[in-house]
Amino acid sequence: MKKSLTFSALAAGTKAAGDGRYPEKQAMAALHSAIDCGITTIDTSALYGQGRAERMTGKVMATRRQEVCLVSEVVSGAANRWLSRRFCQASLKRLQTDHIDFYILHRRYPGLLASAVRSLERLRQEGLIGGWDVADFDVRDIKQLLALPGGENCRINKVMYHCAARGPEYRLLDQCRQAGIHLMAYSPFGGAGDPLLSAPVLEIIARDHRCQPAEIALAWILRQPGMTAIIEADSPVHPGRLARAKTLGLTAADLAAINGVFPPPVIRQPLSRQQ
């Protein structure tokens, strides 16, 4: 049974689990804990560990599907009329569900965007997905997307966004809001190794707020309206603590200190991307 969908401010990511960084039982326990803490959006992908992340997520969905807004991905090259249904049905089987709430086009496939949109719209109309989305689309990409038949039905743009990667702030955030496109920020702690968590400016602000740098990094992202930040389910900080970032109010002085180290863009910058 399909449900009314809302995005939680934080989403539980499954890339690390798919890559086999820790045992499946630990990964499943982390997802259950995240859901218990109100992190009810789960981001997964057939690309993570060649389906391993979806299979692990599916075992959690077997008992908690109705609590979750489930987001998965289709590889760009498969978003066509020949392959999209086959790939989607394979994901549904791994996820142990009859529909994916939001299905993300994993980056733009040059020259085939219109075909991809038609394929995703067909999956939506058939009820296999609730909606479809894009990843790493910049201003020009979104403009071209919205000009296509059905392009206005895009619901999410998943981009790398954190205080050291502020490219989306130059026009893209406003453009997506005006089009009704929700933003999902991945790599909120700076990418592999979470380098932002040792940034002195975040450590100082965290001491002032009696919390951890991870909470400050997330609160900085969530100050933006219409934004969800993806945290890996294996985060070293308990998801209950991270969930508090939703209500952590950064002061004008905090924001000025972060801007002093990581200035906002004044000209267009290429989007940072996950490698």
pLDDT tens-place values along the chain, 275 residues long: 344 467 899 999 999 888 888 888 988 998 999 999 889 999 999 999 999 999 999 999 999 999 999 999 988 777 777 788 999 999 999 999 999 999 999 877 667 899 999 999 999 999 999 999 999 999 999 999 999 999 999 999 999 999 999 999 999 999 999 999 999 999 999 987 789 999 999 999 999 999 999 999 999 999 999 899 999 876 655 677 788 888 898 999 999 999 999 999 999 988 988 76
Encoded tokens for 212: 């951890």
Among the listed residues 170, 122, 118, 168, the one whose alpha carbon sits nearest the alpha carbon of residue 145: 118
| Cβ-based neighbours of 168, under 8 Å, separated by 6 or more | 159, 161, 183, 271
Encoded tokens for 208: 């002032």
Containing H/E element for 267? Answer: none
| Cβ-based neighbours of 114, under 8 Å, separated by 6 or more | 148, 149
- CA dihedral in degrees (171, 173, 177, 180; nearest 10)? 110
For residues 166 and 79, give the distance between their C-alpha atoms in angstroms, rounded to a whole number.
29
Encoded tokens for 190: 């700076």
Q: What's the pLDDT score for residue 3?
A: 47
For residues 155 and 198, give the distance between their C-alpha atoms in angstroms, rounded to a whole number.
34
Q: What's the pLDDT score for residue 111?
A: 72
